[in-house]
Amino acid sequence: MTHQDHIRHALWEIERTLRDSVFWQSVPPQASAFTSTESFCIDTMSAEQWLQWVLLPRLHAMLDGGVPLPLSLAIAPYFEEALTGDINDIAPLLEQLRALDALFVPADAQGDRDA
């Protein structure tokens, strides 16, 4: 399995976890919410909206288009602060987000990865 395959699998696991949680939304935010210039669209979307409607589709599109992925990613700390509610709802999603972050540890910090 290539590094990109591992990332895609992690994205699918995050989506599955979202769908199985209270955080899943069947209706996207208003179109104007996507025009935010703030990190994580913090001024126009909740953290879970940004994850579902911005990050997951963007990373899938990058994988589909062969676009270089970020060299590092650390979104779990943001979600640890941003998500509120029952820990039983939050914990499974945080676990999946940490797993995704771990796939973006720079190569020089973890050794060679598959291309």
Tell me the domain boundaries of the chain.
68-106
Burial of 63 (0-12, 13-18, 19+ CB in 10 A): middle
Using CA atoms, how far apart are residues 59 and 69, in angstroms rounded to an integer?
Answer: 8
Nearest residue to 58 (alpha-carbon basis) of 77, 83, 75, 79: 75
**Residue 102: how many other CB atoms lie within 10 Å:** 14
Residue 71 · residue 106 · CB < 8 Å: yes
Residue 43 · residue 36 · CB < 8 Å: yes
pTM for the complete prediction?
0.86
- Per-residue pLDDT tens digits for 25-80: 999 999 999 999 988 898 999 999 999 999 999 999 999 999 999 989 999 999 99
**Residue holding tokens 């104007």?**
32
Instruction: Tell me the two tokens of residue 87.
Output: 């820990």
